[in-house]
Structure 1
């Protein structure tokens, strides 16, 4: 995904090359030259000079010449949204694995997902989905 596309999806103001390819998200110390990171705590501002990240999510006050920036009111929230874009939540299919042991009288809601070798004892109620 390009940095321009990502800025649009996240509702940020982009300062930098819109065509830069972004492949994921990481912390400031771990980010590669194709990853996005963020700065929300001022005590980590010094890391703006050393991070290898392709772009950094920052608030409106941060100055970082020669860095690609995504500006927003809430960098932490926008970083969480970026995480969901690159790592969408996994929703297992509704199924009961054949090796699962379910005691008589267990109450199962609609569309449960019960994995291999799960043991569910008497008196348990599992909700929907």
Structure 2
């Protein structure tokens, strides 16, 4: 795995993990960032599920990085690109199209860049 791909994946993985932990621990605040503001803990069950999902994916990705499992890591990032699209569908179904979708578009872009970088690193000689 190239150093650039590894760093991109590590930064993205830590961000995903931290977003997940934040959503799990402070779901009311995280719901605003997600694009569906909620005001009480009783409304935020789905945000905690979102947080658990992201924390788990971030931890799995960091484990793959630690053990230099490049192909599984690339596959994980590739498959994860569908998640911001699905998250956007949830938002559109609740409040319609709006600027809240920009965050999810940015996440999709980052996941795609990391995925491409990882796949390229599996096809070229390592430059660790």
Q: What TM-score does the superposition give when structure 1 sets the normalisation length? A: 0.27
Find the structure with the greater CA-based Rg: 1
* Structure possessing the higher relative contact order (Cα contacts under 8 Å, 6 or more residues apart): 2
